[in-house]
Chain A
């Protein structure tokens, strides 16, 4: 995909469809370690090893064996073409942790793209999910909690839609403050 944010949208959508009530998105970009990584951890229904094998196999097509689309094969290809890998750990009934890593300096790596927009849209679209987004660079880190939106809704007595722009702006300012270049 053109932007890694689209992959993030896809993975987190999988988590939400797996009935997660909590999703943690952790992004790490380090020039020093030459690493860019995306980790999504959820407390959804989890997958058996068999199902993990099925979701990363692009040729498994039947809807019964394949709960998701081509998203994970494409993400795995994106990671491996950048000298990285896709790792999935899951336990039935406990949740799933997925990490896609990339060499930071790989020319094949798509830009991260509109991460602030992606995160805020995911939160607004799944109000029952507690969402935590953390982002670390060599210069520092920040976290954004979906509670940020709900606390302000109560405080300002407004709808969540009024907070889309302020939330995106807040995230973009933090990205700037840690000198994110992804």
Chain B
């Protein structure tokens, strides 16, 4: 949906509790969530996350995607559930941080 320059990935987290991500996730992380609210993108921006992956085919509203484009946050929407997405990222060598 929205793309950015090549960036490092520090870790991966799965959470639908936005305040937890706000409190705990380190910068440059990938965030896997089923919440497609614009607040997700705002938090991804605050926390300087590398990317957000929306599970189960969730897609944010167009104006939220526009905001992510402006803020250079990569967004992905995937039909898989969080477990399967995380499994694939794990086999690529990525790990969680909290």
In the complex, which residues of chain A have a beta carbon less than 8 angstroms from the beta carbon of B17? 1-2
> Which residue on chain A has the smallest CB distance to residue B19?
A1
State the majority secondary structure of interface residues on A: loop
B44 to chain A, nearest CB (A): 11
Number of A positions contacting B (CB below 8 A) = 11
Interface SS of chain B: helix, strand, loop or mixed? Answer: helix
State the Cβ distance, B17 to closest chain A Cβ, in Å. Answer: 6
- CB-contacts of B8-55 with A (<8 A): 17-20, 22, 37-39, 41-43, 45-46
B67 within 8 A of A: yes
Q: Which residue of A lies closest to B17 (CB)?
A: A2
The segment out of A45-53, A70-78, A145-153 that lies at the interface is A70-78
For residue B27, give the distance in angstroms from its CB to the closest CB of chain A.
Answer: 15
State the Cβ distance, B70 to closest chain A Cβ, in Å.
Answer: 9
> Do residues A77 and B37 form an inter-chain contact, with CB atoms below 8 A?
yes
Pick the contact of B19: A58, A59, A61, A74 (CB < 8 A).
A74
**A178 interface contact, C-beta 8 A:** no
CB <8 Å contact, B46 and A74: no
Q: Least Cβ distance of B54 to chain A in Å?
A: 15
Check: A54 CB closer than 8 A to any chain B CB: no
Task: List the A side residues contacting B45 at CB < 8 Å.
Answer: 59, 61
Taking the complex as formed, is A6 at the interface, i.e. its CB lies under 8 A from any CB of chain B? yes
Give Cα A59–Cα B73 distance, bound, in whole angstroms: 13
Enumerate chain A interface residues (CB-CB to B < 8 A): 1-2, 6, 58-59, 61, 70, 73-74, 77, 81
B residues whose Cβ falls under 8 Å from a Cβ of A: 17-20, 22, 37-39, 41-43, 45-46, 67
Q: A58-B43, A74-B18 known; 12 other A-B pairs, CB under 8 Å?
A: A58-B41, A59-B45, A59-B67, A61-B45, A70-B18, A70-B19, A70-B46, A73-B39, A73-B42, A74-B19, A74-B39, A77-B39
22 A-B pairs within 8 Å (CB atoms) are namely A1-B17, A2-B17, A58-B38, A58-B39, A58-B43, A59-B42, A59-B67, A61-B46, A70-B18, A70-B39, A70-B42, A70-B43, A70-B46, A73-B39, A73-B42, A74-B18, A74-B19, A74-B39, A77-B18, A77-B37, A77-B39, A81-B37
